[in-house]
Amino acid sequence: MKKNVPLRGSVHANEFLKFLLVMKLAILLTLFTAYQVQASVFGQSINVNAKQTEIKKILNSIERNGDVRFLYNYELASLKTKVDFKAENLPLTAALDKLFVNTELTYKILDNNLVVVLAKGNIAKFADVIKVTGKITGDNNEPLSGVSVLVKGTNKGTSTDNNGVYTISTDKNAVLVFSYIGYESKEVSVKGEQVVNVKLTLSAKILDQVVVVGYGVQRKSVVTGAIASVKAKDLEDMPVVRLEDALKGRTSGATIYSNSGQPGAASTVMIRGVTSINNFDPLYVVDGVPVAGGIDYLNAADIESIEVLKDAASAAIYGTKAASGVILVTTKKGKSGALQVNVASYYGVQSPAKTLKLLNATEYAALRNESSAAAGNGILFPDLSTFGKGTDWQNAIFNNDAKIQNHELSFSGGNEKSTFFASFGFFKQEGIVAPSISNYQRFSVRINSAHKVTKWLNFGENLSYAYTKSQNNFDANGYYGGPLSSAVNLDPITPIIITDPTVLAQNPYVNHASSIVKDAKGNPYGISPYVGQEMTNPAAYIQTHQGNYGWGDKIVANTYIEIEPVKGLKLKTSIGGDLAFWGSESFNPIYYLSATNSNLTNTSFNRNMNKAFNMIFTNTASYTRSIGLHNFSVLAGTEARKMTQFGVGASYVGLPVNSFGDASMNFTIPAANMLGNGYESQPYNISSLFGRVTYDYDGKYLFTGIIRRDGSSHFGSDNVYGNFPSMSAGWILTREKFWPANLPISFLKLRAGYGVNGNDNLSPFQYVSTVNGVGTYPIGGQLVTGNSPVTVANPSLKWEQTSQTDVAIDMVMFKDWNLTVDVFKKKTTGMLMQPSIPYYIGALQTPWANIGAMENNGIEIELGYKKKVGQVGLDFKGNVSYLKNKVTNLGNTSFLTYGNMQSSAYEVSRKAVGQPINSFYGFQTLGIFQTQAEVNNYVNSTGALLQPNARPGDFKWADLNGDGAITNADRTYLGDPTPHWIFGFTVGATYKDFDIRIFAQGTAGSKIFQQLRRLDIPTANYSTKALGRWTGQGTSNDFPRLIDSDPNGNFSNPSSFYLEDGSYLRIKTLQIGYNVPKKVLAKAKIQSARVYVSGNNLLTLTKYTGYDPEIGGTGGGWLYSIDRGIYPQARSFMAGVNFTF
């Protein structure tokens, strides 16, 4: 008998069904709107059969079925006349003559199969329609491609080709509007001219782009805060796997490290350094909705822009959670005009960018002999000639043909009343390590629309859904027995599979024959007799984790309504939500991998599901007005957020199957074997008031003031609310009369700002004293549960506060160059910590208190260049940032520890006062003792040996405190895991229809703790660096002798021996593209087409000897730049196409 226990579906089926219903309705409405707005113009023949159908709809049908386009005034009453009409293979003129009989309509056929439909009374006026062509150039007479050309007052428009040329049919007295990003728009009257060439002028280049600033937009030229922006064009030119990669190397002040190369792995993102020891993740806001868990659910092709609010002067508008910076993501909206269909797709293969140089079997056996003999244990392998190269474990798990693919389809269109944007995306990536248990896929859908009901009322919505599925069944940076760490540490003598009958006749292949993991042919996987603990045959490990996966459903939606009762005053209400479901399914079979890694009793099938919901309700009122030369804007708003989360899980133990594919919760098993668990978090509420005032006088003197007041449910009544103000000012010198007109600097702005942000990142009710049951005792013959305090109350608990001062300049020089320089100082005070308390207090846990402090200082430089000479275009974007972090206060302790080594109780890193956060900590080496005399001469003032256990070939430890002994007190700070310099640059060139682009990024000034080899397993394999070990006087001064017992702690002590330079420069992307000429595409009715090939992670210049110098902060940041076997980055080669219809 079986029972059905559909854990995942039963929990959120109702919500998901509601969502599917909403999605279906939205798609139907969108398609209906698209049909009403504009139909496709493609078709091969005219065949129509309609009964009582509006003439306008019949024209639409002819467009679909014939090679023809119609142009008409939508307001013509005759177009709404319903008629019976039938045409079978009729010529175009015959069909139209028949259709317009007995109506007031007539037509005129132009070039390119364009047909103008108009009232018969206006036929004379039609003679005024002409074809206009021309060329659009910039300040330096370079042709501008992609310039929008629109007939003023209509939806009719086109764009320039790669040579800056356009063609459009219009009335001879029409006005054409030319617009292009970074240039001033221009209106030109046709006046009967058939050739209209236009020269556009720069509008302070990128400094005059529109940027999102939080609850609004501003021209960048008048922005007084530190805001970096990445536009859709940047993403289109270089597709990214994860959206965080779009910021890496492109945004000054942002340190972004991939946590690993595992498919779907997140990144560590730090905006202007680490702000707090509790949490340094920035706040992500997508279309006005704060989202949890990052932005990996987004499809990069849906992004219109990404703004990074780096300083408090700009981020204060978001108050809480904004202390570590804010990342604003704006998705694409529909544009008025004909239906536009865009198809983008790429496909590629990946392989490891690097493999480690490890000892082969012969080398390993030789060094094991040496290490064993030095410890007095004799020779282990007398005949080295029998080993050869042995097993290459890296080759056994690496995938040199890992597939990666991405496909996107989007629709956009609209008219003056309604616009829409809809998209579908699919992404799939195989891992380069153990691909059958390391892969990721995402499916996404988006619908955005905006509707103008009247001149004073409009509304819209943004709706997205994403489903993700991942198989990441091992730690991406851990040495506890995953396939990567085993491949690094396992001996190369053990074969992958065992076929030798002599070996198969021995244990454990005999006494565990039924449990040993076997390959598809029934051969047992090899079990190492030399390397134990968690290290196992990685091929066997992979077999035991087949099928296990994690999943996620995420819905982010926002809808708004806006009214403008009087000119300049806008009232807006929006409600949004972030609804996420996620969970996993796994199966633990019966297996025997080694003596310390086995499950010989019961199988288990596990399933869990979690739900989180974040709801936000926002109301704003804004007023913009100019009085003479005085321009100002005022924003006031309220906001309320509520976040809830719960989860459930179940395990079935002892299933009568031994594979994931056969496991389920449909089996009848004893009730005792049905295990369950669950949790529900306390609702988290935030209520807010905020306001902003911006002012400028004649575009010269600029001011912005912001205030936000947040109330958090994490604090007691005395400290519920926190106030977060900011102010900033700017001065555009080049608008002053005294500024010489002939200087090479055409734009110069000075700006400065100061502001405060908050952080409430702690669990609820930490401000009150709590109690917990601690045992039972008898009273009156009954057992009574006793209670004791868990923690001490702290009613003074309040917000962390991060203040920031920023001084900067923005300039445009020599017309083609733009430069931005920011200098900042960032201080966090009242950092939430748990200080140590005396034992006599009696609490089990220490209370939270506002006692810590930290600061970051830095400078950021961004430089850009763009120029086109003839048919050659050049552009450059580069940035470099310097950052220095320091912990300034930790209350009644001078340091916090974590990151212990596997083989000892010594910590690898510390958070310490006066040092950068998570600084590496350990012993300083002074080289290697070359002779016994050197050991004997290393004595203290009394003549005693400082290192009595040392012998020639051992490290000489520095006696830093001078007490005459090597003790824990001699440990010191060895290096900073956070890079001091972050840089990136993009260089692009175009020639006719070809383009090439190179993107590189890197860091400098950081250290990495290289902990790839398991230090507590003396038999673990070594890198080939060990071939240069000390073997006698003068042979090495940096790699010590090998000895099993390690009496001097050469390998077990954390020391400078393990630190390596983490600096690197990586050629992240090299792409070559070709834009198909429009004259070639015209016959296929394609607006634009681009094909390209791309190589990613092609070259990394670094001194680091591990897999990858890019090591994010897994483990909540504690493991930042600690390499325990990081899943390496993939090198990939891709080919892609983009089409627009």
Q: What is the pLDDT of residues 99-124, one digit of tens each?
A: 888 888 888 777 666 788 878 766 55
User: Does position 204 have pLDDT exceeding 70, yes or no?
Assistant: no
Q: What is the mean pLDDT of residues 288-294?
A: 86
State the chain's mean pLDDT as an integer. 87
User: Does position 140 have pLDDT exceeding 80, yes or no?
Assistant: no
Q: What is the mean pLDDT of residues 525-532?
A: 93
Instruction: Pull the structure tokens for residue 633.
Output: 């804007």
Backbone angles phi, psi at 1031, to 5 degrees: -125, 0
Q: What is the mean pLDDT of residues 390-403?
A: 96
Per-residue CA distances from 67 to 127, 379, 1072, 1084 (Å): 24, 86, 34, 10
Query: Is residue 569 a contact partner of residue 577, using CB atoms and an 8 Å limit?
Result: no
Fold of 206-334: Ferric Hydroxamate Uptake Protein; Chain A, domain 1 (2.170.130)
Give residue 16's pLDDT: 45
Q: What is the mean pLDDT of residues 672-688?
A: 92
Give residue 210's pLDDT: 72
CA angle 971, 974, 980 (to 5 degrees): 155
User: Does position 1114 have pLDDT exceeding 60, yes or no?
Assistant: no
Give residue 40's pLDDT: 34
Query: In this structure, which amino acid lies at residue 228?
Result: A
Q: What share of the chain is helix, strand, coil (3-state, %, to 5)?
A: 15, 45, 40
Per-residue CA distances from 344 to 337, 445, 885, 935, 1071 (Å): 21, 15, 42, 68, 16
Give residue 447's pLDDT: 96
pTM: 0.81
Element (H, E) at 115: strand 114-119
Fold of 38-123: Phage tail protein beta-alpha-beta fold (3.55.50)
DSSP character string of 748-787: EEEEEEEEEEEE--S-TTTTS-EEEEEEEEEETTEEEEEE
**Residue 51 to residue 57: CA distance in whole angstroms:** 11
In this structure, the dihedral spanned by the alpha carbons of residues 319, 325, 331 and 335, taken in order and rounded to 10 degrees, is 80
Give residue 1040's pLDDT: 97
Per-residue CA distances from 879 to 49, 249, 309, 990, 1102 (Å): 62, 7, 16, 22, 20
User: Does position 74 have pLDDT exceeding 80, yes or no?
Assistant: no
- pLDDT top residue among 610 and 186: 610
Q: What is the mean pLDDT of residues 260-278?
A: 87
Q: How far is CA 464 from the centre of its chain?
A: 17
Give residue 30's pLDDT: 40
Give residue 926's pLDDT: 97
Give residue 1079's pLDDT: 85
Q: What is the mean pLDDT of residues 211-224?
A: 82
User: Does position 642 have pLDDT exceeding 60, yes or no?
Assistant: yes
Percentage with pLDDT > 90 across the chain: 56
Give residue 122's pLDDT: 64
* 26-30, 818-822, 848-852, range with greatest mean pLDDT: 818-822
- pLDDT top residue among 1073 and 1016: 1073
User: Does position 722 have pLDDT exceeding 60, yes or no?
Assistant: yes
pLDDT band at 1013 (very low <50, low <70, confident <90, very high): confident
Query: Is residue 143 a contact partner of residue 180, using CB atoms and an 8 Å limit?
Result: no
Nearest to 413 by CA among 404, 423, 403, 405: 423
**Residue 588 to residue 933: CA distance in whole angstroms:** 57
Give residue 355's pLDDT: 93
**Residue 575 to residue 595: CA distance in whole angstroms:** 57
Summarised one tens digit per residue, pLDDT across range 829-884 is 999 988 877 766 666 678 889 999 999 999 999 999 988 888 899 999 999 999 99
User: Does position 260 have pLDDT exceeding 90, yes or no?
Assistant: no
Give residue 36's pLDDT: 36
Q: Which residues contact 924 (CB under 8 A, 6 or more apart)?
A: 957, 958, 960, 970, 972, 974, 1055, 1056
User: Does position 39 have pLDDT exceeding 60, yes or no?
Assistant: no
pLDDT band at 321 (very low <50, low <70, confident <90, very high): confident
Q: What is the mean pLDDT of residues 339-363?
A: 95
Count of H-run helices and E-run strands, the chain: 12, 57
Summarised one tens digit per residue, pLDDT across range 602-631 is 999 999 999 999 999 999 999 999 898 899
Three-state DSSP state, 168: strand
- pLDDT top residue among 87 and 1047: 1047
Give residue 779's pLDDT: 80
User: Does position 145 have pLDDT exceeding 80, yes or no?
Assistant: no
Say how many C-beta atoms besides its own lie within 10 A of residue 1083's C-beta.
Answer: 8
Q: How far is CA 844 from the centre of its chain?
A: 39
Query: Is residue 899 a contact partner of residue 908, using CB atoms and an 8 Å limit?
Result: yes
Q: Which of 19-28, 336-345, 710-719, 1099-1108 has the lowest mean pLDDT?
A: 19-28
User: Does position 751 have pLDDT exceeding 60, yes or no?
Assistant: yes
Q: What is the mean pLDDT of residues 268-273?
A: 89
- pLDDT top residue among 677 and 295: 677
**In which residue are the tokens 């509008």 written?**
203
User: Does position 151 have pLDDT exceeding 60, yes or no?
Assistant: yes
In this structure, the dihedral spanned by the alpha carbons of residues 1021, 1025, 1029 and 1035, taken in order and rounded to 10 degrees, is 160
Enumerate the H helices of 393-482 as residue ranges: 393-397
Q: What is the mean pLDDT of residues 664-672?
A: 92
Give residue 636's pLDDT: 97
pLDDT band at 139 (very low <50, low <70, confident <90, very high): low
The domain ranges of the chain are 38-123, 127-203, 206-334
Instruction: Pull the structure tokens for residue 974.
Output: 């060895």
Query: In this structure, which amino acid lies at residue 254?
Result: A
Most distant pair of Cα atoms in the chain: their distance: 121
**Residue 573 to residue 744: CA distance in whole angstroms:** 46
Q: What is the mean pLDDT of residues 157-168?
A: 82
Q: Which of 6-15, 138-147, 155-164 has the lowest mean pLDDT?
A: 6-15
**Residue 814 to residue 974: CA distance in whole angstroms:** 46
Q: Which of 39-48, 612-621, 929-938 has the lowest mean pLDDT?
A: 39-48
Instruction: Pull the structure tokens for residue 1140.
Output: 């627009």
Give residue 842's pLDDT: 64
* 128-137, 711-720, 941-950, range with greatest mean pLDDT: 941-950
**Residue 221 to residue 207: CA distance in whole angstroms:** 5
Query: In this structure, which amino acid lies at residue 1121?
Result: S
Q: Report cis status (omega within 30 of 0) of the bond before 508.
A: yes
CA angle 568, 757, 719 (to 5 degrees): 105
**Residue 409 to residue 403: CA distance in whole angstroms:** 20
Three-state DSSP state, 1036: coil
pLDDT band at 42 (very low <50, low <70, confident <90, very high): very low
Give residue 138's pLDDT: 78
**Residue 1125 to residue 765: CA distance in whole angstroms:** 39
Give residue 157's pLDDT: 77
Q: Which residues contact 743 (CB under 8 A, 6 or more apart)?
A: none
**Residue 627 to residue 639: CA distance in whole angstroms:** 31
Give residue 841's pLDDT: 67
pLDDT band at 422 (very low <50, low <70, confident <90, very high): very high
Superfamily of domain 127-203: Carboxypeptidase-like, regulatory domain (2.60.40.1120)
- pLDDT top residue among 338 and 396: 396
